Amino acid sequence: MPVDTSEADAQFRQWMRENLDRAADHFGAVIVGEPLLGWRDRSVSAPARRGDDDCWLRVVSEDKRWVGDDFWTGNLDANVFEGIAKPRVLDVVEWEGWRQQRAEIMTRLPGRACSPTDVLRATVDYPTSGGPSCAEPSTPSRSHRLSAPTPPRPR
């Protein structure tokens, strides 16, 4: 017999939103758009402003035993790549509770999303000059969820 987890899921999503607010306070940022939940609700992201800068704010939550692999630090690690249109991590903070939390504030690129979902299912038309026209992470910070699978969390 299936167990109804809708109330627990709603509480977890609210907790994730509170984590996003905590990260915004830490970085001195203001959330300026609708937060988006990531794969299996393990991350939450939103457009933000810090001073005069448009940013992207992301918080990921994970069971402590899964923390430490490339999926955990990959966004910051990707700062070494230059010459491609991608967000750059500006700052990171972590905190621990019953789960490990990691917040990242990133640059936000102009353009449009390459896909309305977390999976690219259609050919992307790039302009012939000036680089990709789909650089904005506003829907895809979702691309962060494509980099590595996450072990299932117990329900």
pLDDT of residue 119: 79
pTM (two decimals): 0.75
pLDDT of residue 22: 97
In terms of C-beta density within 10 A (0-12 exposed, 13-18 middle, 19 or more buried), how is residue 13 classed? middle
**Least confident among 21-30, 38-47, 131-140:** 131-140
Residue-wise pLDDT tens digits, 74-89 = 889 999 998 888 899 9
pLDDT of residue 129: 55
pLDDT of residue 147: 30
Mean pLDDT of 9-31: 96
